[in-house]
Amino acid sequence: MSQSKRRLARREVLGLLAAVPAVFSSRSALAQEPIKVGGIFPLTGGNSVFGNQNFQGVETAIELVNDRGGVKGRKIQLFKGDGNSPQAAISETNRLASREGVRIFVGSSTSAVGMVASQEAERNGAFYWEGMAVANNYTERDFKNVFRMGLSAAGLGEPAPLYAAEVLAPMLKIDSKNLKVAVVAEDSAFGVDVSRAVIAQAEKLGIKIGLRELYSAKTTDLSPLVLKLRSLDPDMIIATQFINDAILFQRQMKEMNYSPKAFVGTSAGHSTLSLAEAIGKDVNGIFSSSFPLDANLNSLSAEARADREAFLKRYEAKYKVAPAVQESLGFVVGIALARDILGNATSDSASDLREASLKVDVPVGSYINGWGLKFDDKGQNRRAFGSVVQWQDQKMISVYPAANKVHDPIMVPLPARNAR
Amino acid sequence: MDIYIQLALSGLFIGGVYALISVGLTLVFGVLRVVNFAHGEYLTIAMYLTYFMFQRVGIDPFVASIAVVPLMFVLGLATERLLIRPTLEAPHVVQVFVTFALSLFLQNLLLALFTSDFRSVRTPYATAAFQIGPLYVSWLRAAVFVVALAFAGGLAAFLKYTYMGSAIRATAQDRRSARLVGINVDRVYAVTFALGCALVGAAGILLSPLFSVNPYTGADMILVSFVIVVLGGMGSIAGAVTAGLLIGVVESFTGYLAGGELKQLVYFVLFMIVLAVRPNGLFGRKGAEVMDVT
Amino acid sequence: MLRVRDLSVRFGDVQAVEQLSFDVAAGQIVGLVGSNGAGKTTTLSAISALVRNRSGSIELDGKDISRLAPHQIVEQGLIHVPEGRRLFPFMSVLENLEIGAYGKAARGKRKQQLEFIFDLLPRLAERRNQLAGTLSGGEQQMCAIGRGLMSCPRLLMLDEPTLGLAPMLVEEVFRLVKTIRDQGVPILIIEQQVVHVLETADYAYVLESGRGTMQGLGATLLQDDGLRRAYLGI
């Protein structure tokens, strides 16, 4: 093959690759030029469970907004960027920026991906809308055009000890000062940050931490940990776990006939349907401090109630299951970006979007999970708060705080496993 | 004291599964001199097969093995014929590319077919346990351990007492001589590779009631297997079994005594110490590779 | 019995064997002599199909075997005992011998063939459970020949069977070669021990740079002045 021919062939291949996102993007009529938004999520690889769930939520929100007529008559075109690793997140952000002319990004499921993708967007002068990455230092980087609508690790973890002191301790008839808590976490940045926030909050409340134990989420045997817990015998376990290790942990506690009086997870593995699929009725009674799944309907605005209904209908029609926490979060992040930022900005340039973000003032209860939107000077949403859900009858039910509560907690203290 | 016995038991049980996964890997390396980076994906495939047979048809994983193990064998035969055989004469780096690419391809194929959701086989006996004095013994883990060792023992007997087994050992030691005593070396390669897949398939079946599966499960599990294969001595079945059990127990004890985050650190340190003292691994034999020209 | 015509082997640019023709008749020991690099080992490897890029015809008892794979050639009874013994080092002597009878035809006669070999080479019987890799050079050679015999050969090809052996053992190997011939198995032997081969062989071919340059009865070649000068330094 001659040199020139080879070059031509490569250009053709690149052309084909460039056409791929167009196939995935929403099929809007291009009467007016669409607003291009790039979603940077891990869609393949180890973290892709949450990445896909988040993306599905965002996508549902964008489709809903488009079907309602778009943003000031313009449709939103959503591009997929597979940030399956930090390196991929960088190259996908750049690809969408240079090849598709995307100037608005949304992400990113994990902090590892979100931190680098937002940095890359900032460097390109683009706008980055973060929903899921929780790293505490995410908003400490003095970026101009990066805003986090979702929670920090602290925001995600703090409801667990708060709920323990406020609700669980009285139900267990233990003074919260005498409550003995073991903190268990997987050892990536997620587990480390969240468990640290849990401990800080617990100590503030005077709760004693009996044990803080980290382990790798890829572990195949957690029985040593169960043995340790058994000998410590805490009243409560607060665990930050991904899916597989959360399942393994529950199964091995059962094998070794061990149970604390209360078990509180912190999102991720404990707020996903796979847990119920894996352990069945044993899931009942487990709490999870979490991005809110649902809100108390009375605390929602009329618009949020309509959104909620539309979201549930669309999601269930498309995926044949009820949305869980991460899908619902994706939806909120997508709706907020489309309606309250793009909808109020003078243009879709990064500086106008920044302007709109700084000005935005959406009251609590305006989104389906009960959140509102108001940024502090670091670009962190002050109207996002964590909540606590409990598995009841193998479904996640919001139990805390009051604005989200749809049902009372049950099974405190945890009954024997055959009674769950 | 009780706790240490409990830890040793837990470690041995999981070590039995490590051993079974590693035995297939080391066998394929010993005979074909190919490091199969897609070994973990065959574990994943077997777990999915087991999951779907359980979910759709309601077949118990242990019963499903009757169908899944032969299926994995056939899949191995096909892979060897289509991908491995054409590259056997090529430089090692080509084989690395081929098996590595296969690994990525299979991961993404599984992702496209089944999404990245975790799927769990939920058997009533998954968490059943019995108690001996102060010890808790999971029926399932104990059974998995016994079956895993039975498979490894079965393999050893097959290699020792059958014509095909002798041919496999002979080919591993000297392919040229193997041809000269009338062994169809191409067939030995095919059978060996397929056996490797069937064994890791068996491990997948045994693991499926214990662990949830998604397209990356195998890749996560296989890391420790590479350590085990080298630690035991590349190509050595006895080495893989011993190192598998050893790593299982070491993990278990460090998990308890030093904390879960140090588990891997400790076994990598152990790994380096063993290799410093015995560069060919616990059961490795120096020069086994040098015997292989042609 | 074995009939080779116009055998040529190329390795890239190098013509290792060119237009070589020779025969091995029933009941004969045939020698293939020549200096290092003359193409002797390549010739044997070409016959047993270990080397593929070859041309010419190879017939065993009138049957063309040039398209068969190595294991099929073994099945035809043409057995190649390679240079440097090449035993399976981590198998016992007994296992090495038993695997010699891997071919389907030989499997049935494994027991009686084993008895025959232990009779012929009692030292192997003593060491039957020892790992082959730990035998002495002479014992390894005996074991390699024994492994070849286990295949119930119709014709045995020996590649440098005395390489690296002490003079006393060399004698022993040649005695064994004659015994095997007398049992009715013709032998094609390649050797650098030219005098010994020519003394032992019924017929011999001389190879130089891949070509056959001379042939004749062993005893006749032994008298040839040119050959004596070239190989014996006389």
- How do residues C147-203 score in pLDDT, each as one tens digit? 999 999 999 999 999 998 999 999 999 999 999 999 999 999 998 888 888 999 999
- What confidence tens digit (pLDDT) does each residue in C117-151 have? 999 999 999 999 999 999 999 999 999 999 999 99
pLDDT above 60: residue C227: yes
Token pair in block for residue B100? 């590595």
Tell me whether residue B42 is in a domain.
yes
The DSSP line for A219-232 is -S--HHHHHHHHHH
Greater model confidence, B2 or A99: A99
**Which chains contact A through at least 3 pairs of Cβ atoms less than 8 Å apart?**
B
Looking at residue C233, its pLDDT comes to: 63
Distance CA C128, CA C135 (A): 10
The closest of B109, B127, B92, B124 to B42, measured between CA atoms, is: B109
Q: What is the 3-state secondary structure (H, E, C) of B167-232?
A: HHHHHHHCHHHHHHCCCCHHHHHHHHHHHHHHHHHHHHHHHCCCCCECCCHHHHHHHHHHHHHHHH
- Split into its structural domains, chain B has a count of 1
**Contact call for residues C214 and C20 (beta carbons, < 8 A):** no
Q: Quick one: average pLDDT of B172-180?
A: 93
Q: How many alpha carbons lie under 13 Å from residue A14 in its C-beta half-sphere?
A: 9
**Contact call for residues A18 and A2 (beta carbons, < 8 A):** no
Q: What is the 3-state secondary structure (H, E, C) of A194-220?
A: HHHHHHHHHHHCCCEEEEEEEECCCCC
Please report residues of B whose CB lies closer than 8 A to that of A256: 129, 136
- Residue found by looking up tokens 């890391």 in the block: B223
Substitution target from B55, B117, B257 for chain A, most A beta carbons within 10 A: B117
Interface size between A and B, measured as CB pairs under 8 A: 118
Selecting from A187, A219, A274 the residue whose C-beta is nearest the C-beta of B117 gives A274
Q: Which residue of A has its CA nearest to B51?
A: A278
Identify the structural domains of chain A with CATH numbers, from first to last.
Answer: 33-150+299-385 (3.40.50.2300), 156-290+388-419 (3.40.50.2300)
Selecting from A213, A215, A274 the residue whose C-beta is nearest the C-beta of B120 gives A274
For residue A415, give the 3-state DSSP assignment. Answer: coil
Q: What is the 3-state secondary structure (H, E, C) of C35-48?
A: CCCCCHHHHHHHHC
A14-45 b/e with 16+ CB inside 10 Å = b? eeeeeeebeeebbebeeeeebbbbbbbbbbbb
Distance CA B114, CA B109 (A): 8
Distance CA A211, CA A161 (A): 15
Q: Quick one: average pLDDT of A72-95?
A: 94
Tell me whether residue B57 is in a domain.
yes
Distance CA B248, CA B237 (A): 17
Q: pLDDT-derived band of residue C225, with 50, 70 and 90 as boundaries?
A: confident
Selecting from C48, C71, C86 the residue whose C-beta is nearest the C-beta of B183 gives C71
Selecting from A213, A243, A282 the residue whose C-beta is nearest the C-beta of B260 gives A213
Tell me whether residue B283 is in a domain.
no
**Phi-psi domain of A376 (left: phi exceeds 0; alpha: psi -120 through 50; beta: other):** beta
Q: Quick one: average pLDDT of C3-22?
A: 92
For chain B, the average pLDDT equals 90
Contact (CB<8Å) C151/B288: no
Distance CA A178, CA C134 (A): 71
Distance CA B203, CA B198 (A): 9
- What confidence tens digit (pLDDT) does each residue in A150-208 have? 999 989 999 999 999 999 999 999 998 999 999 999 988 889 999 999 999 999 999 98
Query: Would an 8 Å CB–CB cutoff place B238 in contact with chain C?
Result: no
Please report residues of A whose CB lies closer than 8 A to that of B211: 220, 244, 247-248
Please report residues of B whose CB lies closer than 8 A to that of A45: 216
Contacts of C124 (CB under 8 A, 6+ apart): C93, C97, C117, C118, C139, C142, C143, C146
Q: At CA A145, angle to CA A143 and CA A151, rounded to 5?
A: 80
Q: Which residue of B has its CA nearest to A45?
A: B216
C-beta neighbour count of C199 within 10 angstroms: 13
Distance CA A144, CA C142 (A): 84
Contact (CB<8Å) C99/B185: no
Tell me whether residue B169 is in a domain.
yes
- What confidence tens digit (pLDDT) does each residue in A125-159 have? 999 999 999 998 899 999 999 999 999 998 999 99
Tell me whether residue B54 is in a domain.
yes
| Residue B77: alpha-carbon gap to chain centroid | 17
Distance CA A384, CA B2 (A): 48
Interface size between B and C, measured as CB pairs under 8 A: 74
pLDDT above 80: residue A39: yes
The closest of A144, A152, A66, A133 to A335, measured between CA atoms, is: A66
Instruction: Sheet containing A76-82: give its strands across.
Output: A76-82, A35-41, A104-107, A127-130, A146-148
Q: How many alpha carbons lie under 13 Å from residue A303 in its C-beta half-sphere?
A: 14
Please report residues of C whose CB lies closer than 8 A to that of B161: none
For residue C15, give the 3-state DSSP assignment. Answer: strand
Q: Which residue of C has its CA nearest to B173?
A: C88
Helix residue ranges per DSSP H, chain B = 2-32, 39-52, 61-79, 92-114, 139-161, 163-173, 175-180, 185-207, 217-232, 237-257, 263-277
**Contact call for residues A358 and A370 (beta carbons, < 8 A):** no
Contact (CB<8Å) A44/B120: no
**Contact call for residues C43 and C17 (beta carbons, < 8 A):** yes
Selecting from B181, B184, B185 the residue whose C-beta is nearest the C-beta of C151 gives B181
Contact (CB<8Å) B216/A46: yes
Please report residues of B whose CB lies closer than 8 A to that of C69: 184, 186
The closest of A108, A184, A101 to A147, measured between CA atoms, is: A108
Tell me whether residue B267 is in a domain.
no
Substitution target from A53, A110, A223 for chain B, most B beta carbons within 10 A: A223
Percent of chain A surpassing pLDDT 90: 72
Contact (CB<8Å) B174/C89: yes
Substitution target from B177, B283, B291 for chain C, most C beta carbons within 10 A: B177
ipTM: 0.92
Distance CA B228, CA B39 (A): 14
Looking at residue A11, its pLDDT comes to: 46
Tell me whether residue B116 is in a domain.
yes
Substitution target from C74, C102, C150 for chain B, most B beta carbons within 10 A: C102
Contact (CB<8Å) A278/B122: yes
Distances in whole angstroms, Cα of residue C197 to Cα of each of C20, C162, C233 = 20, 11, 16
Selecting from B166, B176, B182 the residue whose C-beta is nearest the C-beta of C86 gives B176
Contact (CB<8Å) B176/C82: yes
Contact (CB<8Å) C91/B176: no
Residue numbers of the domain that contains B207: 2-216
- Residue found by looking up tokens 């010994």 in the block: C196
Tell me whether residue B287 is in a domain.
no
**Contact call for residues C80 and C47 (beta carbons, < 8 A):** yes
pLDDT above 60: residue A12: no
Please report residues of B whose CB lies closer than 8 A to that of A279: 120, 122
**Contact call for residues A244 and B118 (beta carbons, < 8 A):** yes
Distance CA B65, CA C75 (A): 37
**Which of A25-34, A91-100, A226-235, A338-347 is predicted least confidently?**
A25-34
Interface of A with B (CB under 8 A): 44-46, 48-49, 51-52, 187, 213-216, 218-225, 227-228, 231, 243-244, 247-248, 251-252, 254-257, 274, 277-280, 282
Please report residues of C whose CB lies closer than 8 A to that of B167: 99, 102
Contacts of C17 (CB under 8 A, 6+ apart): C7, C8, C9, C39, C42, C43, C46, C54, C210
